[in-house]
């Protein structure tokens, strides 16, 4: 429920669900696939399909597949929008066929765990801190990114914040890790 904290939504249909507009998961709200083999089919052609914003918001065990028109800025999951907070989590999930698979815009401590970004068109994972360029501390464990585009990036790192990577596999794309550090970043 928008504007309320907490709550879980379990999406366990074999056939999956269709999102025609972007959805935000607020403080403590969590989605779980719980055995869904298709998960969410996203027809959002501009902007994020799902946004994790606020403390302890999460998506677990849920595939998200783009089914709209590409080339207009589709984003699988956006994490944050410049806020301070803690612990958004994306775990045991696949993000398939978006222009940008994952756009991390948060100044928080967060985690990606066993995440696969498949068939991204432009950027697999974009990480940036849009409020304070030298904040945020992320841990990635078991992350895989593949890019279908000959001129795309697997990762665009545009942050001066901390990042610990434990197991990363990248396939395709023209650039593996594009480091574009903000001014005055260490």
CB atoms within 10 A of CB 134: 15
For the residues 49-60, what does the mean pLDDT come to? Answer: 86
Tokens 């697997």, located at residue? 154
Q: Identify which of 79, 181, 96 has the alpha carbon closest to the alpha carbon of residue 140.
A: 79
What burial class does residue 128 get, using C-beta atoms within 10 Å of its C-beta: 0-12 exposed, 13-18 middle, 19+ buried?
A: buried
Task: Report d(CA 129, CA 29) in Å as an integer.
Answer: 22
3-class secondary-structure state, position 182: coil
Indicate the pTM of the whole model: 0.89
Residues 2-50 have pLDDT tens digits of 555 678 888 876 677 888 999 888 888 888 887 667 788 999 889 999 9
The answer to whether 135 touches 111, Cβ cutoff 8 Å, is no
């Amino acid at each position: 429920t928008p504007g309320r904290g907490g709550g879980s939504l379990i999406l366990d249909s074999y056939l999956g669900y269709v999102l025609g507009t972007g959805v935000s998961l607020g403080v403590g709200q969590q989605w779980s696939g719980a055995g869904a083999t298709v998960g969410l089919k996203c027809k959002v052609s501009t902007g994020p399909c799902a946004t994790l914003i606020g403390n302890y918001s999460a998506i677990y065990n849920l595939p998200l597949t783009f089914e709209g028109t590409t080339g207009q800025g589709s984003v699988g999951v956006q994490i944050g929008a410049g806020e301070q907070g803690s612990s958004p989590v994306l775990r045991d999930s696949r993000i398939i066929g978006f222009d940008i698979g994952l756009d991390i815009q948060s100044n928080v401590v967060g985690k990606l765990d066993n995440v696969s970004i498949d068939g991204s068109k432009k950027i697999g994972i974009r990480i940036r801190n849009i409020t304070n360029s030298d904040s945020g501390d992320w841990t990635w464990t078991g992350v895989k990114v593949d890019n279908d585009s000959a001129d795309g990036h697997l990762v665009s790192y545009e942050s001066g914040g901390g990042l610990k990577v434990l197991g990363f596999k990248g396939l395709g794309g023209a650039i593996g890790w594009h480091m574009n550090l903000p001014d005055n970043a260490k």
